[in-house]
């Protein structure tokens, strides 16, 4: 669940107008841990090379169950997926329910399984099989609000923000929910307890926390160390706030980045604007804070149609490559992007995704396997912007860690662009990753790159 678009657009406009479009030409970011700007913990080593695949259980298969989804695990493993994020698996409230099936984010009971999807034993079986294949598995957690018939409304009404008549309130247009009140210390203890329950009961590996920034930061400062005392976990915040990393989150949402790439896709900004944004993130976020770069997720697909309207057809590819190759990236792929599913998936009704062709499967598999095999695409590897052509259209950079090096050249325009090799670090016979062939690159060598095209070179 994301905050209403008007809220995001207002703040994005405020933030983006404050950024100056400065070039990162020839600047190297080595991304070391800086004592004055690191988080209070170090993410697990495997996080730096990981990726996230969001699973919409209801819509993933005709059955919409854990058992049916389990059949896809070998395919996703072969594709290179590392972390499976399951949208909320808890029961959905019936009071004020939206649509026939309701929103996953209107939680009726924090300790139970949505019967649509199966049983707790079915869920545990999915977690076990995922672990056997080497996946980490996280679930969506909704701590900001409950559904409108959660039992706490009867047993603990002071867990909620109440109006003058003593009725629990809801935020924004989320009329099927009731907003929790974190000034109540007993609520904090209860929320921490139910999160620990899932770690111990089902052996999941962490949480994607819905609207994490709406919950007080000091709660996360108290809660996350207690969760990490149970096991090594992965914490993903749906929020663009640097202080959440200092509270213990590994990864956060780069909403400002996402709004910017939508403007680039629409021709409203050019790629020089990426430079100032990356500089800003370097200055604001701790050096071991990772970002969840994406071109789609459940909100963007169902409500904003971004993955097939904003990034249609070939236009999708340079943005997808960018999300997978930027520094500090833990990239996200949403259910169906590998098909691709080119329509808005219903949020409150059954709406099967209908996997058939996996026509983008090879594209994503190539990117994910490159991230898995080449240390230069680890989130903490160095980044250096290079010049390769028209700066307003071409975004090119080097990622490097020790002897391993990747060069990425992206055309963010609807016109063919001329690329010229002028940087000595590009000379040699690198592997063109997507073509599968080696190319000899000499000084002043040039070639054309198609509209919305991309080239990724691997140097060994």
pLDDT digits (tens, 9 = 90+) for 251-275: 999 999 999 999 999 999 999 999 9
CATH 2.60.40.1180: which residues of the chain? 394-459
In 3D space, the residue among 248, 334, 332, 246 whose CA is nearest the CA of residue 291 turns out to be 332
Flag whether pLDDT at 221 surpasses 90.
yes
More confident residue, 307 or 116: 116
Backbone angles phi, psi at 251, to 5 degrees: -135, 145
Per-residue pLDDT, averaged over 184-195, amounts to 98
Residue 247 has pLDDT above 80, yes or no: yes
Structure tokens at 148: 């409108």
Residue 228 has pLDDT above 60, yes or no: yes
Give the CATH fold of the 394-459 domain: Immunoglobulin-like (2.60.40)
Q: From residue 262, give the alpha-carbon distance in Å to each of 268, 355, 361.
A: 9, 26, 23
| CATH fold of 5-380 | TIM Barrel (3.20.20)
Beta bridge partners of 237: 209, 252
**How would residue 129 be classed by pLDDT, with cut points 50, 70 and 90?**
very high
62 touches 352 (CB < 8 A): yes
The chain-wide mean pLDDT, for the chain, equals 91
User: How far from each other are the two terminal CA atoms of the chain, in whole angstroms?
Assistant: 42
Q: Is the pLDDT of residue 15 over 50?
A: no
Contacts of 43 (CB under 8 A, 6+ apart): 234, 250, 288, 290
Average pLDDT of the residues in 1-27: 42
Per-residue confidence band for 45, with pLDDT thresholds at 50, 70 and 90: confident
pLDDT for 378 equals 87
pLDDT tens digit string along 406-444? 999 999 999 999 999 999 999 999 999 999 999 999 999
Is pLDDT above 80 for 290?
Answer: yes
Write down the pLDDT at residue 460: 85
Angstrom CA distances, 440 to 406, 416, 422, stand at 15, 21, 14
DSSP 15-84: HHHT------BT-EE--PPPTTT--SS---GGGGG--EEEE-HHHHSSS-SHHHHHTTHHHHHHHT--EE
CA distances 345 to 1, 104, 107, 297, Å, are: 14, 14, 21, 11
Q: Is residue 3 pLDDT above 60, yes or no?
A: no
Q: Count CB-CB contacts under 10 A for residue 429.
A: 11
Q: Calculate what percentage of the chain has a pLDDT beyond 70.
A: 91
What pLDDT does residue 202 have?
97
Q: 211: closest CA among 259, 176, 258, 174? A: 174
> Of 42-51, 210-219, 230-239, which gets the smallest average pLDDT?
42-51
Residue 97, number of CB atoms within 10 A of its CB: 18
The pLDDT of residue 27: 41
Maximum CA pair distance of the chain?
Answer: 75
């Amino acid at each position: 669940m994301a905050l209403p678009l008007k809220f995001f657009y207002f703040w994005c406009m405020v933030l983006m107008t404050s950024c100056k479009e400065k070039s990162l030409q020839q600047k190297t970011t080595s991304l070391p841990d800086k004592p004055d700007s690191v988080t209070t913990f170090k993410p697990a080593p495997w996080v730096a090379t990981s990726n996230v695949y969001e699973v919409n259980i209801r819509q993933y298969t005709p059955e919409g169950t854990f058992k049916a989804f389990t059949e896809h695990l070998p395919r996703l493993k072969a594709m290179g997926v590392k972390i499976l994020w399951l949208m909320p698996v808890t029961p959905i409230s019936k009071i004020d329910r939206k649509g026939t099936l309701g929103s996953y984010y209107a939680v009726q009971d924090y300790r139970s399984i949505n019967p649509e999807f199966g049983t707790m034993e079915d869920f545990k079986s999915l977690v076990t099989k995922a672990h056997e294949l080497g996946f980490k598995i996280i679930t969506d957690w909704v701590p900001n609000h409950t559904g409108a018939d959660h039992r706490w409304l009867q047993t603990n009404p002071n867990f909620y923000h109440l109006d003058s008549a003593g009725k629990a309130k809801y935020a924004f247009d989320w009329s099927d929910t009731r907003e929790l009140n974190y000034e109540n210390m007993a609520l904090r203890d209860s929320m921490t307890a139910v999160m620990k329950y899932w770690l111990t009961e089902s052996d999941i590996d962490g949480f994607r926390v819905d609207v994490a920034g709406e919950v007080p930061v000091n709660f996360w400062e108290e809660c996350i160390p207690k969760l990490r005392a149970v096991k090594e976990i992965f914490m993903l915040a749906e929020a663009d706030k640097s202080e959440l990393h200092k509270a213990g989150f590994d990864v956060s949402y780069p909403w400002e980045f996402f709004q910017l790439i939508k403007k680039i896709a629409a021709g409203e900004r050019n790629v020089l604007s990426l430079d100032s944004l990356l500089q800003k993130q370097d200055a604001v976020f701790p050096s071991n804070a990772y970002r969840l770069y994406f071109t789609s997720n459940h909100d963007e697909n169902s409500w904003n149609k971004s993955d097939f309207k904003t990034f249609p057809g070939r236009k999708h590819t340079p943005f997808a490559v960018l999300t997978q190759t930027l520094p500090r990236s833990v990239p996200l792929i949403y259910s169906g992007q590998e098909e691709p599913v080119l329509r808005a998936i219903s949020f409150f009704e059954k709406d099967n995704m209908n996997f058939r062709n996996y026509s983008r499967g090879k594209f994503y598999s190539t990117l994910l396997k490159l991230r898995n095999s080449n240390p230069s695409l680890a989130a903490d590897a160095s980044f250096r912007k290079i010049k390769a052509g028209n700066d307003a259209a071409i975004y090119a950079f080097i990622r490097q860690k020790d002897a391993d090096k990747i060069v990425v050249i992206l055309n963010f325009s609807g016109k063919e662009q001329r690329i010229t090799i002028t940087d000595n670090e590009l000379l040699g016979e690198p592997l063109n990753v997507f073509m599968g062939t080696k190319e000899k690159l000499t000084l002043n060598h040039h070639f054309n790159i198609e509209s919305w095209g991309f080239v990724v070179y691997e140097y060994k």
